[in-house]
Amino acid sequence: MGIKEIETGITEADQYILLEPRERFDSCAVGVVEGYGQSPRVCYSYTKVIEVLLEDGGSLEDVQDHFTYNILGSYAGENTPCFLFQGA
């Protein structure tokens, strides 16, 4: 699933927060998650986001640090995106 499929189900009431720039990160979206008492939010693949960030250069360790502190560590309200860490 990509952002196009997610957008199909978006209504005006939905206030999804998407990673920017969208042309780079939309393909990393895997779906929308919901929990009891929580607003729906876009879920991104950690692996795909890391792959996109690696395109800018830098070591895997530097990119993972950047992700942890600047993306995962950001809070933009109850609709802040979440990330799926698959496998080991």
What pLDDT score was predicted for residue 48? 96
Q: What value does the mean pLDDT take over residues 14-33?
A: 90
Distance CA 62, CA 32 (A): 28
Percent of the chain with pLDDT over 70: 82
The whole-angstrom separation of Cα 78 and Cα 2 is 21
3 or 56, which is more confident?
A: 56
Q: What is the pLDDT of residue 16?
A: 84
29-58 tens-digit pLDDT: 999 999 999 888 999 999 999 999 999 999
Map residue 83 onto helix, strand or coil: strand
Mean pLDDT of the chain: 87
Q: Is the pLDDT reported for residue 13 higher than 60?
A: no
- Please give the pLDDT value at position 2: 61
Counted domains in the chain? 1
Residue 41, helix vs strand vs coil? strand
Expressed as residue numbers, the domain containing 75 is 3-84
